């Protein structure tokens, strides 16, 4: 009997049963979670809790960079409130400068004295959204006030490692070598090291993570997989290392495109085999966006709205976001046909819901959108998926940190607010560097009517990890209406103490604004321990975290 049938026929009828032989479940509950403390699934890389930042709309200018002479509290020109918040979530890595912008960016424009840096046309000048912008704004004409030095400062102040995306579409391979040289050549060694020192940074930045192009199948050059494989060989061969364990991340598929991965790996591994130990990452970009149930015909209206949605749209978005699990499995399988030892891991360096325009805070915020509790659930279930696939996913960066798509923060001029996504990253930080554990979630599916047809979505899902005697369990309850009475059992350990935290809201559209910054924020969740089981009532439409002390 499969698990779902088992739940419906037996447990839901209230029978006393023994589940895996060691724990007796209580008579009535809606759901059960069993954590196998002796069954590790791999160490959860802290780097999967990374963020992505691009020179687009309000991300850099208005979001991160306010300028040294600004009245807005700043450190070296960087918004101080943002730095403080990033430290709270232990941000491990930040990707920059794009995105599509990366393949139009010359890093040389962003170094040297700020006053003599050139102004260039921003990649996003071509975007239809750019029409509404002030024609001289930095979103159209890039001022290069924020360049490599400023980004490195931002990372250092926030406690993050830098992850740089190199331009493969419009700069030669030599320029990539030179960027590595500028960042990593030792103090006093090269002309570029001297330029770095003149800017106040004598010590190398020691950048380890390098993205070799961005979306090379699209804005990054419209390459075929074979052409991109050829470029990848040229850009990554004989790059100076300066003793740094460089990690090259190849530009992987759009969502679940297996053809791109198959053909690239075929070229790299067999025609002839290219054994570069620094090729350790394969990026995946996955945005969840189809929320109008295919009623619309053209591209834009097909994207749903960030704030105007019903409960079916809620489930659709969560269902769409859940597809990341299958993408990870499928990509991993294809990669393993060539890379049999799985040296190359997945790097999901752009992900999150993507809605149509209209909820951005300011016209300059291209791809800016409001973030509701629904997005917090989408983000949480994505992070849980990465945790469950800890041996496959080595890094991930959320698109994007501020004022864009799945933002953790919204800011305009002197106003700043943390979105529900920030609280998800705060709650999930406990998983960073922990040992992922196998966990089974048994709950009836959520069932709903989808335009006259029955639809369903999993009832509860999440992930578990262990650090010493602390087990962290995170859980998403997608049901818009019903709390889920849940029993939690640890196999192989005794629950000594436990506490719960929950992010939930009475309204599925709830979001934080400058005027109501605390509309959605975590509160404590009551738990009890009975007969070796932890029990809690998990609120509808919520993200929960349980801290379980064993002993």
Stretch that binds ligand AHR, among 203-211, 398-406, 457-465, 466-474 (CB under 6 A): 398-406
Nearer of residues 367 and 416 to ligand AHR, judged by Cβ: 367
| DSSP 8-class letter at 264 | H
Q: How far is the CB of 400 from ligand AHR (least distance, A)?
A: 6
Nearer of residues 98 and 281 to ligand AHR, judged by Cβ: 98
Q: Which residue is nearest to ligand AHR (CB)?
A: 99
Q: How far is the CB of 405 from ligand AHR (least distance, A)?
A: 6
Q: Which of 211, 215, 375, 479 binds ligand AHR (CB under 6 A)?
A: 215
Q: Which of 173, 317, 395, 399 binds ligand AHR (CB under 6 A)?
A: 399
Q: How far is the CB of 395 from ligand AHR (least distance, A)?
A: 16
Q: Tell which positions 433-492 bind ligand AHR, by CB under 6 A.
A: none
Q: Could you tell me if 98 and 165 are in contact, meaning their C-beta atoms sit under 8 angstroms apart?
A: yes
Q: Could you tell me if 521 and 503 are in contact, meaning their C-beta atoms sit under 8 angstroms apart?
A: yes
Nearer of residues 397 and 484 to ligand AHR, judged by Cβ: 397
- Which are the contacts of 436, defined by CB distance < 8 A and separation ≥ 6? 40, 41, 42, 43, 44, 387, 388, 390, 463, 464, 465
Nearer of residues 100 and 543 to ligand AHR, judged by Cβ: 100
Q: How far is the CB of 284 from ligand AHR (least distance, A)?
A: 12
Q: How far is the CB of 456 from ligand AHR (least distance, A)?
A: 30
- What 3 state SS string does 124-147 have? HHHCHHHHHCCCCCCCCEECCCCC
Q: Could you tell me if 351 and 395 are in contact, meaning their C-beta atoms sit under 8 angstroms apart?
A: no
Nearer of residues 138 and 500 to ligand AHR, judged by Cβ: 138
Stretch that binds ligand AHR, among 93-101, 166-174, 232-240, 381-389 (CB under 6 A): 93-101
Tokens 């000048």 sit at which residue? 125
Cα 264 to Cα 251: distance, rounded to the nearest angstrom: 10
- What 3 state SS string does 312-372 have? HHHHHHHHHHHCHHHHHHHHHHHHHHHCCCCCCEEEEEEEEECCCCCCCCCCCCCCCCCCE
Q: Which of 46, 57, 92, 98 binds ligand AHR (CB under 6 A)?
A: 98
Cα 386 to Cα 187: distance, rounded to the nearest angstrom: 38
Examine residue 368 and tell whether it contacts ligand AHR (CB under 6 A): no
Cα 504 to Cα 501: distance, rounded to the nearest angstrom: 10
Nearer of residues 102 and 502 to ligand AHR, judged by Cβ: 102
Examine residue 100 and tell whether it contacts ligand AHR (CB under 6 A): yes
Which residues are 140's β-sheet partners? none
Q: How far is the CB of 406 from ligand AHR (least distance, A)?
A: 9
Nearer of residues 150 and 215 to ligand AHR, judged by Cβ: 215
Nearer of residues 127 and 305 to ligand AHR, judged by Cβ: 127
Cα 540 to Cα 528: distance, rounded to the nearest angstrom: 19
Stretch that binds ligand AHR, among 109-117, 397-405, 460-468, 522-530 (CB under 6 A): 397-405
Q: Which of 288, 397, 400, 477 binds ligand AHR (CB under 6 A)?
A: 400
Nearest Cα to Cα of residue 379 among 48, 25, 63: 48
Stretch that binds ligand AHR, among 73-81, 97-105, 427-435, 493-501 (CB under 6 A): 97-105
200-216: burial string, b at 16+ Cβ within 10 Å, e else: ebeebbebbbbbbbbbb
Stretch that binds ligand AHR, among 301-309, 310-318, 399-407, 482-490 (CB under 6 A): 399-407
Q: How far is the CB of 350 from ligand AHR (least distance, A)?
A: 5
Examine residue 371 and tell whether it contacts ligand AHR (CB under 6 A): no
> End-to-end CA distance of the chain, in Å?
34
Q: Which residues are identified as catalytic? A: 215, 350
Distance of CA 521 to the CA centre of its chain: 20
518-547: burial string, b at 16+ Cβ within 10 Å, e else: ebbebeebebeeeeebbbbbbbbbbbbbbb
Q: How many chain residues bind ligand AHR (CB under 6 A)?
A: 11
Nearer of residues 62 and 350 to ligand AHR, judged by Cβ: 350
Q: How far is the CB of 526 from ligand AHR (least distance, A)?
A: 39
Examine residue 54 and tell whether it contacts ligand AHR (CB under 6 A): yes
| DSSP 8-class letter at 89 | T
Examine residue 367 and tell whether it contacts ligand AHR (CB under 6 A): yes
Q: Could you tell me if 369 and 402 are in contact, meaning their C-beta atoms sit under 8 angstroms apart?
A: no
Cα 279 to Cα 302: distance, rounded to the nearest angstrom: 37
Q: Could you tell me if 347 and 50 are in contact, meaning their C-beta atoms sit under 8 angstroms apart?
A: no
Examine residue 144 and tell whether it contacts ligand AHR (CB under 6 A): no
Write the binding mask 244 to 273 for ligand AHR: x where contact by CB under 6 A, - elsewhere. ------------------------------
Examine residue 353 and tell whether it contacts ligand AHR (CB under 6 A): no
Query: Collapsing DSSP states into helix, strand and coil, what is residue 267?
Result: helix
Q: How far is the CB of 285 from ligand AHR (least distance, A)?
A: 6
Examine residue 129 and tell whether it contacts ligand AHR (CB under 6 A): no
Q: Which of 58, 92, 97, 99 binds ligand AHR (CB under 6 A)?
A: 99
Q: Which of 129, 267, 350, 384 binds ligand AHR (CB under 6 A)?
A: 350
421-460: burial string, b at 16+ Cβ within 10 Å, e else: bbbbbbbbbbbbbbbbbbbebbbbbbebeeeeeebebbbb
Examine residue 214 and tell whether it contacts ligand AHR (CB under 6 A): yes
User: How do strand 435-442 and strand 18-19 relate by DSSP bridges?
Assistant: unpaired
Q: How far is the CB of 52 from ligand AHR (least distance, A)?
A: 7
Q: Which of 91, 344, 405, 493 binds ligand AHR (CB under 6 A)?
A: 405
Q: Using CB under 6 A, list all residues that contact ligand AHR.
A: 54, 98-100, 214-215, 350, 367, 399-400, 405
């Amino acid at each position: 009997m499969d698990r779902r049938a088992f739940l419906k026929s037996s447990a839901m009828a209230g029978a006393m049963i023994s589940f895996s032989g060691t724990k007796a479940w209580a008579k009535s509950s809606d759901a059960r979670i069993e954590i196998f403390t002796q069954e590790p699934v791999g160490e959860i890389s802290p780097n999967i809790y990374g963020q992505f930042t691009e020179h687009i709309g309000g991300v850099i200018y208005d979001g991160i960079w306010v300028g040294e002479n600004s009245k807005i509290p700043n450190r070296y020109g960087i918004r101080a409130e943002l730095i403080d918040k990033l430290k709270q979530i232990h941000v491990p890595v930040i990707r920059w400068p794009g995105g599509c912008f990366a393949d139009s960016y010359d890093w040389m424009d962003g170094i040297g004295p700020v006053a003599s840096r050139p102004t260039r046309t921003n990649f996003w000048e071509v975007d239809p959204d750019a029409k509404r912008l002030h024609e001289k704004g930095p979103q159209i004409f890039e001022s290069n006030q924020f360049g490599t030095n400023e980004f490195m400062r931002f990372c250092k102040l926030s406690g993050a490692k830098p992850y740089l995306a190199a331009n493969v579409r419009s700069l030669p391979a030599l320029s990539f070598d030179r960027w590595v040289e500028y960042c990593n050549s030792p103090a006093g060694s090269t002309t570029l090291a001297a330029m770095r020192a003149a800017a106040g940074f004598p010590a190398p930045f020691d950048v380890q993570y390098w993205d070799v192009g961005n979306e090379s199948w699209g804005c990054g050059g419209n390459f075929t997989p074979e052409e991109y494989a050829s470029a990848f060989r040229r850009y990554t061969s004989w790059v100076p290392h300066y003793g740094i364990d460089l990690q090259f991340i190849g530009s992987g598929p759009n969502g679940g495109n297996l053809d791109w991965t198959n053909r690239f790996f075929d070229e790299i591994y067999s025609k002839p085999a290219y054994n570069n130990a620094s090729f350790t990452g394969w990026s995946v970009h996955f945005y969840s966006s189809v929320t109008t149930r295919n009623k619309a015909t053209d591209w834009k209206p097909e994207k749903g709205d960030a704030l105007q949605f019903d409960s079916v749209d809620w489930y659709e978005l969560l269902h769409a976001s859940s597809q990341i699990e299958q993408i990870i499995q499928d990509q991993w399988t294809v990669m393993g046909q060539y890379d049999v030892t799985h040296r190359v891991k997945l790097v999901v360096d752009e992900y999150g819901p993507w809605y149509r325009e209209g909820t951005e805070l300011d016209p300059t915020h291209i791809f800016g959108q409001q973030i509701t509790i629904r997005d917090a659930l989408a983000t949480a279930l994505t992070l849980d998926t990465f945790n469950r696939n800890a041996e496959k996913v080595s890094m991930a960066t959320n698109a994007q940190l501020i004022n864009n798509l799945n933002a953790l923060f919204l800011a305009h001029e002197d106003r700043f607010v943390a979105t529900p996504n920030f609280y998800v990253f705060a709650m999930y930080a406990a998983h960073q560097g922990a040992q992922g554990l196998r966990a089974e979630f048994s709950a009836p599916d959520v069932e709903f009517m989808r335009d006259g047809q029955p639809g369903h979505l999993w009832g509860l899902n999440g992930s578990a990890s262990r650090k010493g005697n602390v087990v962290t369990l995170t859980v998403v309850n997608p049901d818009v209406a019903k709390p889920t009475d849940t029993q939690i059992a640890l196999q192989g350990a005794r629950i000594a103490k436990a506490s719960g935290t929950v992010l939930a809201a009475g309204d599925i559209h709830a979001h934080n604004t400058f005027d109501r910054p605390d509309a959605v924020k975590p509160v404590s969740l009551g738990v009890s321990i009975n007969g070796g089981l932890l029990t809690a009532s998990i609120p509808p439409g919520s993200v929960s975290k349980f801290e379980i002390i064993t002993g």
